[in-house]
Amino acid sequence: MEAKQKLDSLVDDLSKANKLPRLSAAAHDVDKIIKLLSDAREQIAGAMDPHTASLTMTKLQNPIKTTFEKVNDHLKAASSAHKKVGRSLDKHFPLQQLPTDNDSMGDHLPLINRAVAMHLLREGQFGVASTFIDEVQTKNPRATPSSFDEPMDEDEDDEGGEGDEGDEDDTDADADGSLGLAVSTDDDYDLSSLHSQELQDKFAEMYQILQHLKAQNLIPAIEWARANSFELEARGSNLEFELSKLQYVWLFKGPAVNGLPDDQHNGRSGALTYARRHFGRFQSRHLREIQQLASAMVFAPNLATSPYHQTFSIDSAFTDVAASFTREFCSLLGLSAESPLYLAVTAGALALPRLMKYMLATRSKGTEWTTAQELPFETPLPESMLFHSIFVCPVSKEQTTEHNPPMVIPCGHMLARETLQKLCKGNRFKCPYCPSEGLMKDARRVVL
Ligand SMILES: [Zn+2]
């Protein structure tokens, strides 16, 4: 709560600073001075009478002087506003030494550069991205451009673990997997392997479609979903139907709501025509919803009190489909919907206060944090930032890791693999929780 108050007062100071005369006014005045000067130059150059020059110069003096003063006033106001925000920032958020004892990313500059470039590209900051990539590459010139390897591998591996079940010999593979970053050569993370132009084109398309969605035009998004329907369906995505459904509802609302031309393509008859033309392909998967959409016609005069009220509410419909569209678009590119860099930085910032507290506490006690795989405390992250469930072995009380994954044994109980190996006599083990016995080869790895 304390942090919230600090933030509130900071936001307050910032908005005060924003209310001050903008620097655009100063720029305007500078333009005015330039115009005064160039006009005078033309007058003097075109004059026959030699007195014109001195006369023009004299006339010029006062307006130039006052305009300069105005520019200075603007600059002073702006800089004092900046200083005030800076002071407020210092006051509420004094500089603190960050714990840098364990800089696990310190040796991975190429990875960090890649993540930054990727973030800029996916946020649509194409100009900044290409400058960044150019600068990184000028600093680290490479003799050979890297080959066409899979460009989009910065995504977190949410699905992960296929083919790992029950494989007792995967320890080496795991080690390589988790240390993949360390064993790869820099070339793998060369920014040219990003195929930034290709990505830029893709994201430009995404932002164009999003812009249309913002303007409540669904057609480009529907066309994209149709063109990619095979891949989307393979992912179990309903995006194309969701978009088409919203288009039906949008037309149904009529010109008073959707602002489209009042003709046979709009309103209820327009919606019906749309449904007849486009809903057929969705019948096998969404018959019930299509029936509901059609039945709603009967309630058209009084939709608000009908059972279909919810289906036809469009308050957040466009933002919702825009979010689904972004998610699906990114996933077809092999990327997560949210920028991993953004997530990592935000999660890091949220965890930082506890980390700092912990470091101070351990330093004063002279103890050290030795577990490399897990943090020694809980991090207060919101649900949206939690991607992997954590399993703690009920016997060893250790958190499972890549190297010591959770295993399910035939009776259904779950243990960490190392625990299981310790329990093993020969090839057999006895479950510590029930009277069952099992064979090591029947234990299956669980991917959470
Ligand atoms: Zn059991």
Residue 33: which domain range? 2-91
For ligand 1, the distance from its centroid to the CA atom of residue 394, given in whole angstroms, is: 12
Give the pLDDT confidence of 31-47 residue by residue, as tens digits.
999 999 999 998 888 87
Residue type, 216: Q
Residues 313, 203 share a domain: yes
* Distance from Cα 343 to the centre of ligand 1, integer Å: 38
Same domain, 204 and 315: yes
Residues 86 and 122 placed together within one structural domain of the fold: no
Say how many Å lie between the CA of residue 434 and the centre of ligand 1.
4
As a whole number of angstroms, the longest Cα–Cα distance in the chain is 116
Per-residue pLDDT band at 274 (split at 50, 70, 90): very high
Residue 441 alpha carbon to ligand 1 centre in Å? 15
Indicate if 242 and 301 belong to the same structural domain: yes
Cβ proximity of 374 and 434 under 8 Å: no
Find the 310 Cα to ligand 1 centroid distance in Å. Answer: 47
Q: How far is the CA of 174 from the centre of ligand 1 (A)?
A: 27
User: Which of 332, 359, 377 is where one domain is finished?
Assistant: 332
Residue 130 lies inside a defined structural domain of this protein: yes
Higher-confidence position of 232 and 184: 232
pLDDT value at 152 more than 70: no
Q: Across residues 424-445, what is the average pLDDT? A: 89
Which residue in 255, 238, 134 sits closest to 196, CA to CA?
A: 134
* 299 and 214 assigned to the same domain: yes
- Per-residue three-class SS string for the chain: CHHHHHHHHHHHHHHHHHHCCCHHHHHHHHHHHHHHHHHHHHHHHHCCCCHHHHHHHHHHHHHHHHHHHHHHHHHHHHHHHHHHHHHHHHHHCCCCCCCCCCCCCCCCHHHHHHHHHHHHHHCCCHHHHHHHHHHHHHHCCCCCCCCCCCCCCCCCCCCCCCCCCCCCCCHHHHHHHHCHHHHCCHHHHCHHHHCHHHHHHHHHHHHHHHHHHHCCCCHHHHHHHHHCHHHHHHCCCCHHHHHHHHHHHHHHCCHHHHCCCCCCCCHHHHHHHHHHHHHHHHHHHHHHHHHHHHHHHHHHHHHHHCCCCCCCCCCCHHHHHHHHHHHHHHHHCCCCCCCHHHHHHHHHHHHHHHHHHHHHHHHHHCCCCCCCCCCCCCCCCCHHHCCCCCCECCCCCCECCCCCCEEECCCCCEEEHHHHHHHCECCEEECCCCCCEEEHHHCEECCC
Tell me if 271 is assigned to some domain: yes
Please tell me the distance between residue 411's alpha carbon and the centre of ligand 1 in angstroms.
5
Same domain, 245 and 308: yes
pLDDT of the residue at 184: 41
Q: Could you tell me if residue 194 is inside a domain?
A: no
What distance in angstroms lies between residue 428's CA and the mean position of ligand 1's atoms? 13
In the chain, what percentage of residues exceed pLDDT 70? Answer: 84
Rounded to an integer, the average pLDDT of 181-209 is 72
| 432 CA distance to ligand 1 middle (Å) | 7
Tell me whether residue 148 is in a domain.
no
Residue 406 CA to ligand 1 center (angstroms) comes to: 14
How far does residue 419's CA lie from ligand 1's centre (Å)? Answer: 13
Residue pLDDT, tens place only, 89-117: 888 878 777 766 667 777 888 888 888 99
**Looking at the structure, do residues 286 and 393 belong to the same domain, yes or no?**
no
Percent share of the chain, pLDDT over 90: 27
Query: Both tokens of residue 84?
Result: 């005030």
Q: What's the pLDDT score for residue 100? A: 67
Residue 22, pLDDT score: 66
Q: How far is the CA of 413 from the centre of ligand 1 (A)?
A: 5
Q: How far is the CA of 402 from the centre of ligand 1 (A)?
A: 23
CA of 433 to the centre of ligand 1 (A): 5
Would 312 be classed as within a structural domain? yes
> Into how many domains does the chain fold?
5
Give mean pLDDT, residues 150-176.
40
- Cβ distance 275 to 294 under 8 Å? yes
Q: From ligand 1's centre to the CA of 398, what distance in Å?
A: 19
Residue of 389 and 442 predicted with greater confidence: 442
Q: Is 158 a member of any domain? A: no
What's 444's domain CATH number?
3.30.40.10
pLDDT, mean of residues 64-87: 88
Q: Is the pLDDT of residue 146 over 70?
A: no
Q: Is residue 191, in this structure, part of any structural domain at all?
A: no
Of residues 287 and 49, more confidently modeled: 287
CA dihedral of residues 422, 428, 430, 436 (deg, nearest 10): 150
The mean pLDDT of the chain is 81
- Are 274 and 251 in contact, with CB atoms under 8 Å apart? yes
Distance between Cα 408 and ligand 1 center (Å): 9
Query: Is it the case that residue 414 has pLDDT exceeding 70?
Result: yes
Cα gap 151→440, rounded to integer Å = 39
- Please tell me the distance from the alpha carbon of residue 355 to that of residue 375, in angstroms, as a whole number: 9
80-99 CB burial, b ≥16 within 10 A, e <16: ebeeebeebeeebeeeeeeb
Residue 228 reports pLDDT greater than 80: yes
Which of 176, 178, 322 is CA-nearest to residue 239? 322
For the ranges 172-181, 249-258, 352-361, the lowest mean pLDDT is seen at 172-181
Distances from the Cα of 373 to the Cαs of 101, 402, 404, in angstroms?
A: 16, 9, 11
Give me the mean pLDDT over the 132-141 stretch: 82
Q: Which of 97-111, 175-189, 196-210, 388-402 has the lowest mean pLDDT?
A: 175-189
Going from the Cα of 437 to the center of ligand 1, the distance in angstroms, rounded, reads 8
| Tokens 């954590």, residue located | 390
Q: Is the pLDDT of residue 316 over 70?
A: yes
- Mean pLDDT confidence for 211-228: 94
Residues with Cβ within 8 Å of 261's Cβ and at least 6 positions away in sequence, in order, are 255
Cα separation, 1 vs 285, whole angstroms = 48
Asked if residue 436 and residue 350 are part of one domain, the reply reads: no
Mean pLDDT of 305-319: 82
Taking 80 as the threshold, does the pLDDT of residue 264 lie above it? yes
pLDDT digits (tens, 9 = 90+) for 233-260: 898 899 999 999 999 999 988 888 888 8
The Å distance, Cα 405 to ligand 1 centre, comes to: 17
Same domain, 281 and 404: no
The verdict on 265 and 310 lying in the same domain is: yes
Distance of CA 414 from the midpoint of ligand 1 (Å): 8
- Spatial separation of the C-alpha atoms in residues 112 and 186, rounded to whole Å: 12
Q: How far does residue 49's CA lie from ligand 1's centre (Å)? A: 109
Domain end position, chosen among 125, 140, 155:
140
Side chain identity at 278, as an amino acid letter?
H
* Separation between Cα atoms, residue 128 and residue 200, nearest integer Å: 12
Q: Which position has the higher pLDDT, 81 or 320?
A: 320
Q: Per-residue pLDDT for 441 more than 80?
A: yes
Q: Is the pLDDT of residue 156 over 60?
A: no
In terms of domains, do 354 and 327 share one? no
Are 10 and 123 within one domain?
A: no
- pLDDT tops 80 at residue 80: yes
Query: Mean pLDDT across the stretch 347-357?
Result: 84
Q: Give the Å distances, CA to CA, from 145 to 114, 121, 188, 258.
A: 15, 20, 10, 51
Q: Which of 129-133, 150-154, 171-175 has the lowest mean pLDDT?
A: 171-175
Q: Please give the Cα distance from 41 to 63 (Å, whole number).
A: 15
Is residue 187 pLDDT above 90, yes or no? no
How far, in Å, from the CA of 436 to the mean position of ligand 1? 6
What is the whole-number distance in angstroms between the Cα of residue 424 and the centre of ligand 1? 14
In a domain, 186, yes or no: no
Task: Report CA(163)–ligand 1 centroid distance (Å).
Answer: 24
